[in-house]
């Protein structure tokens, strides 16, 4: 029997979905509380670790002598000490399955909530105010707008596909790895430098991993390049954006709005000034947080563990930094 420890405190209904995908020959337990002592105690006899937001430090990895695989349930592993795992000979793998559709859909949820003034309209209606006409001067359609996609990986491409259904005027993209001209033509996208994209796009959506190169990639200088009617969408990693600079850009009217599913610190502090703004739509890192996505993720994660248990290499393995 292979023991899997899910390093997360899960509601019973969520744990039930996870268990429904558990293969024969595996047993699963989750954290009861999010404390360091609890984590170190649980990993001691784990064969496999399933990781979401808990920090996989060198200390945690050292406390797991039986460990065969660290399986991250997402596509970013900035909370995992990959070098420490590599020194122990423990592979780290990602789970891109189940992420793409939910995040791509969520991008348009945030765009439409901003463009249609959803927070203001619903709040007023619940207070007995009927703003049928008042919101029109600052409500917009996606159709005819120029979309800027930063990061043209799986999720970026899924956003592009959905944007075309909204009849956008043009789709610009920036990525450090540029596909061939034929791929660009097939996707219907045009490459621009990062700063040129910021200048041109009405909607900028971020889909890059968090690395030392991308941390704070949208700061005061970048926000100053965006137009007054532009909106910024971030469903990737909070630390890609300088939140203080974003707050300034939003309160001064430098940009029109922002839709954020991720934050530099999660959950954000109650005194985070972004929480006070009407031109920001906020969600608690739930872009990929659907039942459909969880089922797909868990099936893929457990399949990868089964591969390792059978002596095979995991898929979607993370390479250590050079």
Percentage of residues in the chain having pLDDT higher than 70: 99
Looking at CATH, the fold of the domain delimited by 100-282 is given as Rossmann fold (3.40.50)
Give residue 322's pLDDT band: very low, low, confident or very high (50, 70, 90). low
pLDDT of 108 > 90? The answer is yes
CATH no., domain 2-98+290-309: 3.40.50.720
pLDDT, tens only, 150-178? 999 999 999 999 999 999 999 999 999 99
pLDDT, tens only, 182-219? 999 999 999 999 999 999 999 999 999 998 999 999 99
Task: Decide: 27 and 48 in contact? Cβ < 8 Å.
Answer: no
Q: Whose CA is closest to 76, among 234, 271, 186?
A: 234
Task: Decide: 293 and 13 in contact? Cβ < 8 Å.
Answer: no
What is this structure's pTM?
A: 0.88
Active-site annotation holds for 266 = yes
pLDDT of 321 > 70? The answer is no
Q: Which of 2, 42, 207, 237 is catalytic?
A: 237
Task: Decide: 111 and 259 in contact? Cβ < 8 Å.
Answer: yes
Domain residue spans in the chain? 2-98+290-309, 100-282
- Give me the mean pLDDT over the 220-245 stretch: 97
pLDDT, tens only, 49-78? 999 989 999 999 999 999 999 999 988 788
- pLDDT at residue 34, rounded to an integer: 85
Active-site annotation holds for 129 = no
pLDDT, tens only, 12-27? 999 999 999 999 999 9
Give residue 319's pLDDT band: very low, low, confident or very high (50, 70, 90). confident
Active-site annotation holds for 2 = no
Q: Which of 192, 266, 307, 316 is catalytic?
A: 266
Q: Which of 170, 285, 291, 316 is catalytic?
A: 285
Q: Which residues pair with 150 in a beta bridge?
A: 174, 206
Measured CA to CA, the distance from residue 132 to residue 121 in angstroms comes to 9
Q: Which residues pair with 114 in a beta bridge?
A: none
Burial tier of 134 (Cβ tally within 10 Å: 0-12, 13-18, 19+): middle
Q: How many CB atoms lie within 10 A of CB 276?
A: 10
Q: What are phi and psi of 101, to 5 degrees?
A: -65, -50
């Amino acid at each position: 029997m292979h023991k899997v420890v899910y390093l997360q405190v899960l509601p019973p209904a969520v744990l039930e979905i996870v268990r429904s995908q558990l293969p024969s020959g595996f047993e699963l337990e989750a954290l009861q509380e999010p404390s360091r002592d609890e984590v170190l105690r649980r990993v001691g006899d784990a064969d496999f670790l399933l990781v979401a937001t808990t920090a996989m430090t060198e200390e945690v990895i050292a406390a797991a002598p039986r460990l065969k695989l660290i399986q991250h349930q997402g596509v970013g592993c900035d909370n995992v000490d990959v070098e420490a795992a590599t020194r122990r000979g423990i592979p780290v793998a990602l789970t891109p399955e189940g992420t793409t559709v939910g995040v791509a859909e969520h991008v348009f949820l945030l765009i439409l909530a901003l463009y249609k003034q959803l927070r203001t309209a619903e709040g007023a209606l619940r207070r007995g105010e009927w703003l049928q006409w008042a919101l029109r001067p600052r409500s917009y359609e996606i159709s005819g707008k120029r979309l800027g996609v930063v990061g043209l990986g799986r999720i970026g491409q899924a956003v592009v596909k959905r944007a075309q259904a909204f009849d956008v005027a043009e789709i610009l993209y920036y990525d450090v790895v540029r596909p061939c001209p034929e791929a660009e033509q097939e996707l219907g996208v045009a490459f621009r430098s990062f700063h040129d994209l910021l200048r041109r796009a009405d909607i900028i959506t971020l889909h890059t991993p968090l690395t030392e190169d991308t941390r704070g990639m949208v700061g005061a200088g970048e926000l100053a390049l965006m137009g007054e009617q532009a909106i910024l969408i971030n469903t990737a990693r909070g630390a890609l954006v300088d939140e203080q600079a974003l707050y300034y850009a939003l309160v001064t009217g430098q940009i029109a709005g922002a839709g954020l599913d991720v934050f530099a610190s999660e959950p954000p502090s109650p005194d985070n000034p972004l929480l006070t703004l009407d031109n920001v739509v906020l969600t608690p890192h739930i872009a990929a947080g659907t039942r459909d996505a969880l089922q797909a993720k868990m099936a893929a994660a457990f399949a990868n563990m089964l591969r390792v248990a059978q002596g095979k290499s995991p898929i979607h393995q993370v390479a250590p930094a050079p």
